[in-house]
Amino acid sequence: NAGVTQTPKFQVLKTGQSMTLQCAQDMNHEYMSWYRQDPGMGLRLIHYSVGAGITDQGEVPNGYNVSRSTTEDFPLRLLSAAPSQTSVYFCASSPQGRSTDTQYFGPGTRLTVL
Amino acid sequence: TQLLEQSPQFLSIQEGENLTVYCNSSSVFSSLQWYRQEPGEGPVLLVTVVTGGEVKKLKRLTFQFGDARKDSSLHITAAQPGDTGLYLCAGSLSNSGYALNFGKGTSLLVTP
């Protein structure tokens, strides 16, 4: 199993550009989520999904959209990038999203918005 | 407002020393997890504690969940350079993991 994969690994955008961060998992997990990690801020939840067709907002959802058309994929869309969205983005999955489940993280996407 | 406060924020020690990292909150958590993150990678789960007062050991790492389920500690015995990394605690206020709150992390450097 590849686990959780993310692409791209690095990305530079100009303010106002849009892009999609890809996330895929091959463990048949129902729960998937997106976090951003900023220096001194820890990991903050952006959006999550408890299954195909179901998404919900986390702590910092503004400026981001998600969809979950399949169990495997959970892309994160930046509609109009802003410098405040410069961060490292992690996708994670777990079997059911229970607090005792192991969350499996991808390797991250490092995004810079100029 | 940070729900989980970790201390210390940074720790630099020599190989062979012992250390303790703390994760504190004023809220009660249904469970708490510890992750380790190495540079350029995603966090990896070390342990999950569920019961107040629970102690779990993972080789040289000892994890404790406070009796009131508001705090946790990670103790490393005889630290090795391979222990270097960012240690994150994460907890859920409910039995659902949907609102998993992370601390800011403790960055540990172990030098030979």
Low-confidence ranges of chain B (pLDDT < 50): none
Q: Note the pLDDT of residue A68.
A: 97
- A74 contacts A49 by C-beta, under 8 angstroms: yes
**Contact check, Cβ <8 Å, B104/A97:** no
Residue type at position B108: L
- Shortest Cα–Cα distance, B103 to chain A (Å): 6
- Would the CB atoms of B2 and A40 count as touching at under 8 Å? no
- The verdict on a CB contact (< 8 Å) between B94 and A107 is no
CA distance A104 to A95: 9
Q: How far is CA B96 from CA A10, A14, A32, B110, in A?
A: 32, 38, 13, 35
Residue of B21, B30, B29, B65 lying closest to B47 (CA atoms): B65
What is the residue-level pLDDT of chain A in tens, covering all 114 positions? 789 999 999 999 999 999 999 999 999 999 999 999 998 888 999 999 999 999 999 989 999 999 999 999 999 999 999 999 999 999 999 999 888 899 999 999 999 999
Least CB–CB distance from B88: residue in A31, A43, A56: A43
